[in-house]
Amino acid sequence: MNVEQIREYCLSKKGVTEDYPFDEVTLVLKVMGKMFALVSIDEIPLRINLKCDPELAIELREKYESVLPGYHMNKQHWNTIIVDGSIHPNEIKSWIDDSYNLIVLGLKKSDRDILLKG
């Protein structure tokens, strides 16, 4: 996957917006104003930070060399994935889905209702 494929996949999800709040090379994707993916667009290979269930985060780090504790993030809840071709794109999409869903589940009920109705 490349940065544009990741960006398009994330933006296809309901309520997602993109922003560069930190600098001009870190694309931040949010649902209802909450971050679920950060993409370093100038790094080769590409890197993406995704929220993850803490137990699954550890399992993924043990299983894949290209899954690391989240760079500049809470290491318990975020992973950094090095997109170097060693992980199938469908697996990365699944992790994007998980990150998005974790954020949606953590939204206030009123925000979640707005998202689901929209």
CATH of the domain at 96: 3.90.1150.30
State pTM to two decimals: 0.94
Query: Any idea which residue has 């199938």 for tokens?
Result: 88
pLDDT tens digits for range 32-41: 999 999 999 9
Write out the residue range of the structural domain in which residue 77 sits. Answer: 3-117
The Cα 18–Cα 9 span in angstroms is 12
- Counting the structural domains of the chain, the total is 1
pLDDT tens digits for range 2-58: 999 999 999 999 999 999 999 999 999 999 999 999 999 999 999 999 999 999 999
| DSSP strands (E only) in the chain | 16-19, 26-31, 34-40, 46-51, 67-69, 78-83
